[in-house]
Chains A and B, each alone.
Chain A
Amino acid sequence: MPDAHDTAGRPRVPLTQLQRGQRARLDAGCMAGLPKNDQCLLRAMGVHEHCELRVCKPGEPCIIEVERTRVGLSGPVAQRLLVTPCDMGAGDATPTE
């Protein structure tokens, strides 16, 4: 089971709980709930540990943006991806690069 808190003790939440425009960070072990192959594929798509993501659209599918790449995730994948929110409100995004 993945840890419910990040290394700084802040709570991790499933990606599905984030709102549109909200930013979050993926920490080590946050993909532990996913099969290994899916973890590898996500990393290859740019969704890797220590990256910052922005929620473009919550729900099913959940659309996130990481390093200028938009990735659509089905509900079960988003549910198992634990993230640490960077801010709490739905805010406007700025480029990550």
Chain B
Amino acid sequence: MSATPTTPLATATPKVVRAALLGQPNTGKTTLFNRLCGVRARTGNLPGTTVESRVGTVSIGGVELELMDLPGTYGLHLELPESRLCRDCIEGRIGQCAPDVVIAVADATNLARSLRFVLQALRRKVPCVVAVTLADEARRKGLSVDAAKLAARLGCAVEVTSGRTGEGVEQLARRAAEAARAGLDAPAHVTRLAHLPTLDDDVRVAAWCSDCVRDSVGGQRAVSAERLTDRVDAALTHPVSGGAVFIMVMAVLFASIFWLARFPMDGIDLVFQHLGGWVQAWLPEGPLRALLVDGVVGGVAGTVVFLPQIALLFFMLSLLEDSGYLARAAFAADRFMRRFGLPGQAFVPLLSSHACALPGILSTRLIPDPKDRLATILVAPFMSCTARLPVYVLLISLLFAGHPWLAGVAFIGCYATGAIAGLLSALLARRTILRGPARPMMLELPPYRRPSVRTALWVTWDRARLFLSNAGTMILAICVVMWWLSAYPTAKPSAELEARFAEAARLREGRTLEAIAQGAAMQVQAESELAQAQQLGSFAGRIGRVAEPAFAPLGFDHQLTVATLTSFLAREVFVSTLSVLQGTQDEADEARMIERIARGRRLDGRPLLDVPTAAALLAFFTLAMQCLPTLALVRRETGSWKWPLLQLVWMSGLAWAMAFAIRHTLLALGVT
């Protein structure tokens, strides 16, 4: 169903038409965009901003429509970032030029409210087409929209559409191209404005919207649906029942990204192992092979392995948002989160960060207020992610060997410490550097809908692609730099070590099994010592030695300092570095490796990890910011290096202080 007072599409239409899709949240705007552009859409930040927008193209009747999906906003006149951005975009202050046409979205199931927004779009000096969305849903509710009558009222083309079914979508693109071709007829625009109420007169605006609805909308909505929605809303936002449902939904979400994602993650790990092995087999030994295997493949694998978690998280979040639950969940979490200066919407990103900070930070895009979002990004890495687990396992096993219950409590303590530090840091940030009035919780509660799997898949695909492009650029570059620092300069084996390699080779060619085994063991030992010399002699090792005085108050020697510094690449690197330095990297059994590290000695013969040092190390790893991919992502999401640097300094400084306090308290209590 369509209506337009304009002329049909002519051949003189420009080849590329720039259109901006404008609308309020929950009006089916993004579903319409996805239907129009599908997988051809690209997500990126609007030029000069950190606000995301999606751009896609549609070919229609020989014309290419370049469509920009602007952030949803309740009004163009509001003093909110998303409103300012839409205004700036329409007026050509963002991007290369103003759009040729604006497509204003109006919700068929709630036309009266949408028309207030459409009225604002019509008053802008740009050709406008109205897309009445959610036509299928309106029909199910017994409502119908007469596009011709509405077009006559508005003085512009109106197309009744459904992003879900595709109804009217192609015609809409055609109308947009026509409107762009016709351009803005200034006298007609002035005449049209004269018939529209002014925006500051609420009474006239309300009456005009009601008249438009009365003229163009037929049918009556069923009352029973309202009563059911009332009851479901009351249950989902109730402190007890709402809290219980919220915990259950979050438990399923968390279990999915923590447990279900393990299977594809193991698969990705295996693929990269094979890829590394394949490159190793095909290239001759040398710097290029080392760069490709350890730097590129190893570095990218360490980040791409989190792709399943990110994909699952966004798929499930999209389903929850589409179903209408997420807005109710925000209220359920808001009571608790507000105490720490964060909105209810911050709960999901912080929970997701327990799996990995990368998806957690990406999901902060659900938070509308920029300061709330920034505060959430800043504290998300405090949450104990899976990369910390190997370090927790190592240190807690050392500290509480033979006391499984205490070990369990210590594990919970680590998770609780990270969460508490994060929430308190958020409170501090909101009262200092991110001070300002918190946006009170005023949320539209969209109607409950059957979520669209198609939309969820589109969202997942979009996020996954964005994450991979990030992993393939900045994160890859950082990984290569870190690899170079730990791989160069290459350690040359000493004469004594070379002699042992030669002896090992001679023994392995022996005739008895005993000699071959002895040779193999000697080879492993010599390789381990060479790797140890490489770790300590590399640039990273040298930096470790220089940095040793800074970590000496925490009881770290040069080995622990090197292992701590290399773990800034990724936390789990700590265990592998320490195993190399202690010569246990070939230990297949994790328990035996831990046992050998526990028995490790410093150069002066003292134990490597006494109780105060191990406790300090555990505290440090619980709180420190040791993840370069996360810092790179924070830089991308905030548009500045200022915030990741602040995060690095604050989290690591707090970790150092906490580790220092724990170590010296234990020493004062006589614990050794």
Contact = CB atoms under 8 A, between A and B. Distances in A.
A12 interface: no
A46 B442 contact: no
B440 A77 contact: yes
B110 interface: yes
Nearest to B110: A68
A97 B234 CA distance: 23
Contact of A60 (B335, B440, B446): B335
Nearest to A94: B223
B201 to A, nearest CB: 11
B233 interface: yes
Chain B: interface secondary structure?
A: helix
Nearest to B242: A61
Given A45-B74, A56-B229, A67-B110, A72 B442 contact: yes
Contacts of B221: 68, 95, 97
B230 A71 contact: no
B229 A70 contact: yes
A41 interface: yes
A49 B202 CA distance: 7
Contact of A41 (B74, B110, B116, B203): B74
Interface stretch (B75-83, B349-357, B493-501): B75-83
Contacts of A43: 75, 202
Interface string B186-211: 00000000000000001101100010
A93 B444 CA distance: 19
Interface string A11-44: 0000000001100000000000001011011111
A70 B113 contact: no
A68 B445 contact: no
A95 to B, nearest CB: 5
A4 to B, nearest CB: 22
B246 interface: no
Interface residues of B, number: 46
A41 B437 CA distance: 15
Contacts of A97: 112, 210, 213, 217, 221
A92 to B, nearest CB: 7
B226 interface: yes
B112 A41 contact: no
A74 B440 contact: yes
Contacts of B206: 48, 50-51
B74 A63 contact: no
Interface residues of A, number: 38
Interface in B611-670: none
A41 B442 contact: yes
B318 interface: no
Q: Which of B75, B77, B226, B234 has the most CB of A within 10 A?
A: B226
B162 interface: no
Contacts of A77: 440-442
B645 to A, nearest CB: 31
Contacts of A95: 220-221, 223, 226
A61 B331 contact: yes
Contacts of B75: 40-41, 43-44
B327 interface: yes
Given A61-B237, A69-B444, A77-B442, A50 B223 contact: no
A48 B202 contact: yes
A44 B443 contact: no
Contacts of B441: 61, 72-74, 77
Contact of A45 (B113, B210, B220, B331): B113
Given A37-B78, A67-B112, A45 B442 contact: yes
A76 interface: yes
Contacts of B462: none
A40 B440 contact: no
Given A56-B230, A68-B109, A92 B440 contact: no
Interface string B210-245: 100100010011010011011001100101000000
Given A37-B79, A68-B112, A57 B226 contact: no
B437 A35 contact: yes
B444 A71 contact: yes
Nearest to B328: A72
Contacts of A72: 237, 327-328, 331, 441-445
Given A41-B78, A69-B113, A50 B233 contact: no
A96 to B, nearest CB: 9
A71 B441 CA distance: 10
B217 A70 contact: no
B117 interface: yes
B234 A71 contact: no
A48 B210 CA distance: 14
Contacts of B239: 60
Nearest to B223: A94
A93 B195 CA distance: 34
Nearest to B239: A60
A93 B79 CA distance: 34
B239 to A, nearest CB: 8
Interface string B432-458: 000001001111111100000000000
Nearest to A64: B445
A93 B74 CA distance: 26
B252 to A, nearest CB: 23
A72 B326 CA distance: 12
B443 A38 contact: no
A51 B116 CA distance: 13
Q: Which of B117, B220, B331, B445 has the most CB of A within 10 A?
A: B445
Contact of A46 (B113, B335, B338, B443): B113
Given A35-B437, A93-B226, A68 B442 contact: no
9 contacts: A40-B75, A41-B78, A44-B77, A48-B205, A48-B206, A57-B230, A61-B331, A73-B440, A77-B441
Interface of B: 24, 74-75, 77-80, 109-110, 112-113, 116-117, 202-203, 205-206, 210, 213, 217, 220-221, 223, 226-227, 229-230, 233-234, 237, 239, 327-328, 331, 334-335, 338, 437, 440-447
Given A45-B442, A56-B230, A73-B440, 19 more contacts: A35-B437, A44-B74, A51-B206, A56-B229, A57-B234, A63-B237, A67-B112, A67-B113, A68-B113, A70-B445, A71-B443, A71-B444, A72-B444, A74-B338, A74-B441, A77-B440, A77-B442, A94-B223, A97-B221
Going nearest first, the 7 A-B pairs with the smallest beta carbon separation are A44-B75, A44-B74, A74-B441, A70-B445, A46-B113, A68-B110, A67-B112
Interface of A: 20-21, 35, 37-38, 40-46, 48-51, 56-57, 60-61, 63, 65-74, 76-77, 92-95, 97
